[in-house]
Structure 1
Amino acid sequence: MEKFSKLKQLIAGVEADADKFYNSGNGAAGTRVRKAMQDLKGLAQEIRAEVTEKKNAK
Protein backbone atom coordinates (compact mmCIF):
# COMPACT_ATOMS: atom_id res chain seq x y z
CA MET A 1 0.00 0.00 0.00
CA GLU A 2 2.99 2.27 0.54
CA LYS A 3 3.91 2.16 -3.15
CA PHE A 4 0.33 2.96 -4.12
CA SER A 5 0.50 6.07 -1.91
CA LYS A 6 3.74 7.08 -3.66
CA LEU A 7 1.97 6.64 -6.99
CA LYS A 8 -0.82 9.00 -5.94
CA GLN A 9 1.69 11.57 -4.65
CA LEU A 10 3.62 11.44 -7.92
CA ILE A 11 0.48 12.06 -9.94
CA ALA A 12 -0.53 14.95 -7.70
CA GLY A 13 2.96 16.42 -7.97
CA VAL A 14 3.01 16.43 -11.77
CA GLU A 15 -0.47 17.94 -12.15
CA ALA A 16 0.77 21.53 -12.22
CA ASP A 17 3.37 20.72 -14.88
CA ALA A 18 0.77 18.93 -16.99
CA ASP A 19 -1.44 22.01 -16.80
CA LYS A 20 1.47 24.28 -17.80
CA PHE A 21 2.32 22.05 -20.75
CA TYR A 22 -1.16 21.42 -22.12
CA ASN A 23 -2.68 24.84 -21.45
CA SER A 24 0.31 27.16 -21.78
CA GLY A 25 2.58 25.27 -24.16
CA ASN A 26 5.49 25.28 -21.71
CA GLY A 27 8.03 22.87 -23.20
CA ALA A 28 10.10 22.49 -20.02
CA ALA A 29 6.97 21.44 -18.16
CA GLY A 30 6.39 18.82 -20.85
CA THR A 31 9.84 17.39 -20.19
CA ARG A 32 9.04 17.15 -16.48
CA VAL A 33 5.74 15.44 -17.30
CA ARG A 34 7.52 12.89 -19.49
CA LYS A 35 10.01 12.12 -16.71
CA ALA A 36 7.20 11.74 -14.17
CA MET A 37 5.35 9.40 -16.52
CA GLN A 38 8.48 7.24 -16.82
CA ASP A 39 8.73 7.13 -13.01
CA LEU A 40 5.03 6.24 -12.85
CA LYS A 41 5.58 3.41 -15.29
CA GLY A 42 8.33 1.91 -13.14
CA LEU A 43 6.36 2.29 -9.94
CA ALA A 44 3.25 0.80 -11.52
CA GLN A 45 5.31 -2.20 -12.65
CA GLU A 46 6.62 -2.67 -9.10
CA ILE A 47 3.08 -2.54 -7.71
CA ARG A 48 1.92 -5.00 -10.34
CA ALA A 49 4.66 -7.48 -9.43
CA GLU A 50 3.91 -7.07 -5.73
CA VAL A 51 0.19 -7.72 -6.26
CA THR A 52 0.91 -10.79 -8.39
CA GLU A 53 3.31 -12.16 -5.78
CA LYS A 54 0.83 -11.65 -2.96
CA LYS A 55 -2.01 -13.16 -4.98
CA ASN A 56 0.00 -16.26 -5.86
CA ALA A 57 1.17 -16.74 -2.26
CA LYS A 58 -2.35 -17.62 -1.15
Structure 2
Amino acid sequence: MEKFTKVKELIAGIEADVEKFSNAGNGAAGTRVRKAMQDLKVLAQEIRTEVTEKKNSK
Protein backbone atom coordinates (compact mmCIF):
# COMPACT_ATOMS: atom_id res chain seq x y z
CA MET A 1 0.00 0.00 0.00
CA GLU A 2 1.49 3.27 -1.12
CA LYS A 3 -0.18 5.36 1.57
CA PHE A 4 1.07 3.07 4.32
CA THR A 5 4.60 3.68 3.08
CA LYS A 6 3.92 7.42 3.31
CA VAL A 7 2.80 6.96 6.92
CA LYS A 8 6.06 5.23 7.80
CA GLU A 9 8.09 7.93 6.03
CA LEU A 10 6.18 10.68 7.81
CA ILE A 11 6.81 9.13 11.21
CA ALA A 12 10.49 8.62 10.45
CA GLY A 13 10.73 12.20 9.22
CA ILE A 14 9.44 13.78 12.42
CA GLU A 15 11.49 11.71 14.83
CA ALA A 16 14.14 14.43 15.20
CA ASP A 17 11.48 17.07 15.89
CA VAL A 18 9.87 14.87 18.54
CA GLU A 19 13.25 14.57 20.26
CA LYS A 20 13.85 18.33 20.03
CA PHE A 21 10.46 19.09 21.50
CA SER A 22 10.55 16.43 24.21
CA ASN A 23 14.11 16.94 25.39
CA ALA A 24 14.83 20.59 24.65
CA GLY A 25 11.36 22.09 24.79
CA ASN A 26 11.79 23.53 21.30
CA GLY A 27 8.41 25.12 20.51
CA ALA A 28 8.95 25.28 16.75
CA ALA A 29 9.68 21.56 16.70
CA GLY A 30 6.45 21.00 18.61
CA THR A 31 4.55 22.92 15.95
CA ARG A 32 6.10 20.75 13.23
CA VAL A 33 5.15 17.62 15.16
CA ARG A 34 1.55 18.81 15.49
CA LYS A 35 1.33 19.50 11.75
CA ALA A 36 2.81 16.10 10.93
CA MET A 37 0.33 14.43 13.26
CA GLN A 38 -2.52 16.15 11.43
CA ASP A 39 -1.10 14.91 8.11
CA LEU A 40 -0.85 11.45 9.64
CA LYS A 41 -4.48 11.61 10.71
CA VAL A 42 -5.57 12.46 7.15
CA LEU A 43 -3.49 9.63 5.68
CA ALA A 44 -4.85 7.18 8.24
CA GLN A 45 -8.41 8.13 7.36
CA GLU A 46 -7.69 7.66 3.65
CA ILE A 47 -6.25 4.21 4.35
CA ARG A 48 -9.29 3.28 6.45
CA THR A 49 -11.61 4.35 3.63
CA GLU A 50 -9.67 2.33 1.05
CA VAL A 51 -9.67 -0.77 3.26
CA THR A 52 -13.40 -0.49 3.90
CA GLU A 53 -14.16 -0.06 0.20
CA LYS A 54 -12.02 -3.03 -0.72
CA LYS A 55 -13.54 -5.18 2.03
CA ASN A 56 -17.09 -4.32 1.02
CA SER A 57 -16.49 -4.93 -2.67
CA LYS A 58 -15.78 -8.63 -2.13
Gaps of 5+ in 2: none
TM-align CA RMSD: 0.3
- Report deviation, 1:56: 0.5
**C-alpha separation in 2, matches of 1:52 and 1:22:** 36
Gaps of 5+ in 1: none
> In structure 2, what is the equivalent of residue 37 of structure 1?
37
Count of matched residue pairs: 58
Q: TM-score of the superposition, structure 2-length normalised?
A: 0.98
**C-alpha separation in 1, matches of 2:5 and 2:33:** 19
**C-alpha separation in 1, matches of 2:53 and 2:43:** 15
**C-alpha separation in 2, matches of 1:13 and 1:23:** 17
